[in-house]
Amino acid sequence: MSLIGNIVFFIFGGFLIFLGYVLGGILLCLTIIGIPFGFMCFRLAGGVIAPFGREVRTTEPPGGAITVIMNNVVATCIHRGISPSLRF
């Protein structure tokens, strides 16, 4: 059953999604900062080729002081990007 689902998905749009992820991954890999994101796009492209019959597994999120620090940095950057007129 998963073979039929994969074939139907591939014909009706899966190939276009696959190409989008591959091209996005290539473009992201052109920059040093984008290389890890490009590799993730390639992983997602592999998952899009045959999505039926795969299993998604959860992992433990990273913890520790560096996670708290980076969460605060990201939150601060997003806050400044959304409302640049606010000064704090």
pTM, two decimals, is 0.61
CB-CB neighbours of 88 under 10 Å: 6
Confidence category of residue 86, pLDDT binned at 50, 70, 90: low
pLDDT for the residue numbered 84? 55
Question: Does residue 23 have a pLDDT over 90?
Answer: yes
CA separation for the pair 76, 70 (Å, rounded):
10
63 Rama class: left (phi>0) / alpha (psi -120 to 50) / beta: beta
- Sequence-ordered list of residues with C-beta below 8 angstroms from that of 37, at least 6 positions apart, any chain: 28
Per-residue tokens: 56? 């998604």
pLDDT digits (tens, 9 = 90+) for 4-16: 988 898 889 889 9
E strands, 9-48, in order: none
pLDDT of residue 80: 63
Q: Which of the two residues, 71 and 21, has the higher pLDDT score? A: 21
| Residue 85 pLDDT | 57
CA distance 14 to 64: 39
